[in-house]
Structure 1
């Protein structure tokens, strides 16, 4: 049983190693989803939010981790 718990923790750690990064990506995806729902005639706007938002979050996280 302890083995299964440790395997589960390791697996979860693969996806959510940095909680702040995961929350920021979820926020960007939610923002893009809301924009796509409110403005369905402009799908490129939601795509741009996804692209630049995720890149911005990744870049800022890399800078923050690099300064440690």
Structure 2
């Protein structure tokens, strides 16, 4: 039971450890949803927006983590 608890806590820690990363990714996904809903954008445009947004969030997270 102790091993199971450790595995679960590590799994949850992957998502809760970096709040900036989690909130930023949610913001990018929400922005893409807003673009689809507001402008009826095509799937290619939304995919490109997602890739660029997530890549930007990951790069800023890496830079922020390297500065610590």
Shorter-chain TM-score tier: 0.7 to 0.9
Runs of 4+ in structure 1 off by over 6 angstroms are none
What is aligned with 1:58?
58
Where does the alignment leave 5 or more consecutive residues of structure 1 unmatched? Answer: none
What is aligned with 2:21?
21
Shift of 1:8: 3.5
What is aligned with 1:30?
30
Where does the alignment leave 5 or more consecutive residues of structure 2 unmatched? Answer: none
CA RMSD of aligned residues (A): 1.8
Q: For residues 31 and 24 of structure 1, what CA distance do their matches in structure 2 show?
A: 10
TM-score by length of 2: 0.78
TM-score by length of 1: 0.78
Shift of 1:56: 0.3
| 1:12 lines up with 2:12 in the alignment | yes
Q: For residues 8 and 57 of structure 2, what CA distance do their matches in structure 1 show?
A: 27
What is aligned with 1:43?
43
